[in-house]
Each structure stands twice: as C-alpha cells, then as structure tokens.
Chains A and B, each alone.
Chain A
Amino acid sequence: MSERIYLLPLWIRLWHWTNALLIILLMITGISLHFADPKLPLVEFSLAARLHQIGGLALVALYALFVVANIVSGNWWQYVPKPPGVLARCWVQAKWYMGGIFRGEPHPYRVSEEANFNALQAISYWVIMYMIMPVMLLSGLVFLFPDFAPDRLFGLDGLLPVAILHYVTGAAIVLFMIIHVYLGTTGATVTSMFKTMINGWHEH
C-alpha cells in the first residue's frame, strides 16, 4: 500500500463539492440564459433564471464562508506561491505535464501537509479564487440589483459592461473547471486525487 497523509479537513471537502455543484448548476443555467434559443435543448428560460439567481446567491454566501474559513484556519497560506524560484518550479511542473507524464516519470512535486499545492496549482487557484471569482460574484450581484449599474455607457445600457464581465469571468471559471477536472486524473492513480477530495487522505 502506498504512503498516504491526511491532507484535507472536512470543511474544505464540503466547501469544494458544494462549490463544484453550484458552479455546474450556474454553468448550465447561465448557458441556457445567454444562448437562449428555441432550437437548442436548454433549460426553460424562467426556470433557468430562477435557478441561476438562487444558485448565484448561494455561491456568494459560500464564497464568503470560504474566505472567512481560510482566514480563521490559516488555509489561505496554501494559495500563496512561496519564493524563491516560483517561476522555475512552475516551469518544472509545466514540463512534466508536457513530457514527463507521458514517460511515466514521477510527479516533480511531493505534496506535504505544509504545502498542499505545486506552484502552478497555487498560482492558478489564487487567480481563480481571489481575482476571477470575486469579479464574477460582484457582477452577478449587480445583475440582480441593476440599480447599482451605471445608467448608460457609450450610448448603450450601462448594464452591458457588467454583463460582459459576468459572462467572461464565468466562462474563465468554466474553462478552469474543465482543466481542473482533467488534472484531477494525474495523481498516483487516475482516481487517487478524486478520492483525496472525498476522504481527505492523499496518496503519494
């Protein structure tokens, strides 16, 4: 049996899967709203609108919990890429994804209780969770309360830039999710990382 460490406390796992379910719900309903077309097999518009609002508000609440829990538990430190040599470690990681992984070379970074993420992971999670996600949530809230949006901009409705920000950041999170799910298969075995997210134990 391979060596394993207890990596992820229950609250992180619960947050992760709730976050994942909400993102999937918001992705499906968001696509149904933005690409609304009677010829496409999408969720019925008024249902999609209600689900998107409820899911969006739930995600805002969950994000607030995530930020507070990260501060209280000190978990926020995991997302900070630690110098020196951050870029060099990112390059080593990228090279492994581009070549070493195909040759069956061992993972270049050994996960520890002190540092859960490799440098690429830390940077991408930090960008997604602390830069893109807040913009998506805030623009979604303005969508919900459009009185906060500018009245007009360049002769068009002032809600337009808010809508574009929401759309682009939402799309960025969907792209991240596709890559994130796939990279989840690159652990010691194809399923080991998914198991870690369920039981909290990481297999080296």
Chain B
Amino acid sequence: MLASWRQTIVVLLLGGWGLSAFAGGDAPIDTATIELNRKANEACYACHSAAGIAKPPKAGLDLSKLKDSRLEPPVFNPSDHGVMDCRECHSKTHYNDYPHAEAGKTSTVGCTECHAAKVLRLEPQFNASVHAKVKGVKEKFTCFTCHDPHINIVQKRLKDPAKIVAQDNHGCLECHNSSETFAKFAPEGEKTPGQKKARPDIDTIHDWLPNTRAHWKSVRCIECHTPEVAEAKMLSHEILNKEKAEKKCLTCHSANSTLKVRLYRHMVKDEQQKYGFTNSVILSNSYVIGATRHPLLDNILIGLAGLTLLGVLAHGAVRIIAAMGRKGKE
C-alpha cells in the first residue's frame, strides 16, 4: 500500500535527488533505456498518481482502489527500482490494458526473481529473526513488509546518515508505532487467548534508554536489533528481540564505536580523523558522546588537571616541611 503521507515523507527526505542509473546496485542501465522505461511508466501515472486521481483519464474508474496504489515520479524515480518499467514487476501480460486482468494481482514478480543470490544468503538470517520465530507471523512477512521497492534507496546511494536513519526506521516504526498496522501481523496474545497481542508501547519498552527519541532520529533501530557485524560486511537480516538486542551503551559510545561499521559503513573510505577528532565520520552527522572525542584536547585537559593536583600536593608538602622546620627551631 502506498499511502500519500508516506510518499510525502520520502519526497521531503530525498528532495532534489538526481537521476539514478542503478537498480539495487546491479549493473548500470543505459540512459536511453531509462528514458524509455520512464516514458512507458507515464501511462501508469496517468491513473496511479495524485494528478491521475484528481483528473481521471477515463470515466468510471474505481478511485478508492487507485488511492491505495498511487505513486509519484519524484518518489519512484530516485528509488533503487526507479530506472525500471513498472511492468518489469507488474506483469506485462496483465497490465498492458485497462481494465487490468484480475490475475495481475497475483502475478507480480517477487524479489527472488532478480535478487535470488541475495535472498538465498539472507533467508537463514531472516529465519532466525524475531519476525520468523513468532508463530503465525513469518507467513505474513515478505521483503516488501520492511523494504518498499517503490521508495527505498540503498545506503551507499542515499549517503546522508540522517536520510538513511529516516528511511530505515520508517520501515520498523510503520508497524511498531502503529497499533493498526501492528494488528495485521500480531500473533495471538499469550495472556489473551483468542485475541491478538497488543502492540507494546514503543516508549515504554525503551524507557531504559536515555534520550530515546533523540536516538531514533540519529541511529537506526537495527543498530541495536541486529547481531554484531564484521567490518565491511552487510548488516544481518536477523532482527533481534528485546532480550537479545544490544543494551551496552559503550558499543556505540566509545572510541571504538560500532557505528563505524553500521550506520557509517558506507563512509569507511572518508577521512576518519578530520580536524583531529576521533570518528570524525560519525561527527559529520552526530556528536556521539564518548565516541567523537578530540584526543589533543583531552590530553591538554587531563594534563592541566594532573599539574593542578601535583601543584597543590607539592605546595602542601612544602608547607608541612616548612612548618616542621619552624617547630624544630622553636
């Protein structure tokens, strides 16, 4: 479902994004093909867009259905799949004519058709995930549940950590911060047989975390809710539940911050010590206390504190010795 508010958020996030020439990091597509695909997509936008709904090209269209399947070129075009013809996934057989054949709904191409190797690699991770472990939930999950192919942009292309955070957290919060959407996936509650499990309040379950909302603006849910990751490796698709999720603040808030290989992994080739700061790549987006320090400033202040302590101790020692000397003379 492509609700209008969601598209608005993404348009704001991506404002001014240029032409994309890659589909999901695969081989580049030539400009001529992109132009052809976008031209072909205009036929879809004639109905499946805000303009199409406002001024339907044909009489008798079911506008209520269109509202649930609308998309805008400024949202789709910059996305990873934005270089493609809509009918690459939405069956050419069933969507060439209007009214579309009913079979079209069930013949949409799945992610595996193009991303078979990736799916094969990620499937065991997803199967270990909390979303696959809870009874009755796994069957309702597809890649599309978290990754919207009409909107999403890979981290490497999105670049700006704030945009990456907003995009990825939106995928989680769409369910975990909405009782209505959560209910679509929720299993039966353990304590409430016959009733769906109620959505835990997201602020309450994170009340141990200081500045919760500030964290959600600056880092992704998956920074803590995925297992440890090795440098230059992709984050796991094993989403950890609250018992297994990272709770050690120092994992991020220390000089050896794991954020370098998570949210900022695409910036690993950038200068890491800009202006002398440790983890300056992280500092480009967020001041992370404990992680983004300036060793020279630290050394100066520690040195001053040490000298001050030594100074007063030495002064005190001389006072004692001098006082003893005076007593001896008396």
Contacts and interface: CB of A to CB of B under 8 A. Distances in A.
Interface of A: 33-38, 44-46, 49-50, 53, 97, 101-104, 146, 154-157, 159-160, 163-164, 167-168, 171, 174-175, 178-179, 182, 185
B289 A171 contact: no
Q: Decide if the interface of chain B is mainly helix, strand, loop or mixed.
A: helix
Given A53-B210, A178-B309, A182-B312, A38 B289 contact: no
B254 A37 contact: yes
Nearest to A185: B316
B289 A34 contact: yes
B280 interface: yes
Which range holds the interface residue count of chain B? 35 or more
A182 B315 contact: yes
A38 B250 contact: yes
12 contacts: A33-B289, A34-B293, A35-B298, A36-B254, A37-B290, A45-B249, A46-B208, A46-B209, A157-B285, A160-B283, A163-B287, A163-B289
Given A146-B214, A156-B275, A156-B280, A36 B250 contact: yes
A22 B322 CA distance: 36
Contact of A46 (B210, B305, B312): B210
B29 interface: no
B39 to A, nearest CB: 39
Interface of B: 208-211, 214, 248-250, 253-255, 274-275, 277, 280, 283-287, 289-290, 292-294, 297-298, 301, 304-305, 308-309, 312, 315-316, 318-319, 322-323, 326
Nearest to A182: B312
Contacts of B253: 33, 36, 45
A182 B285 CA distance: 42
B301 to A, nearest CB: 5
Nearest to A174: B305
A175 B308 contact: yes
B315 A45 contact: no
A102 to B, nearest CB: 4
A76 B312 CA distance: 29
A185 B309 CA distance: 15
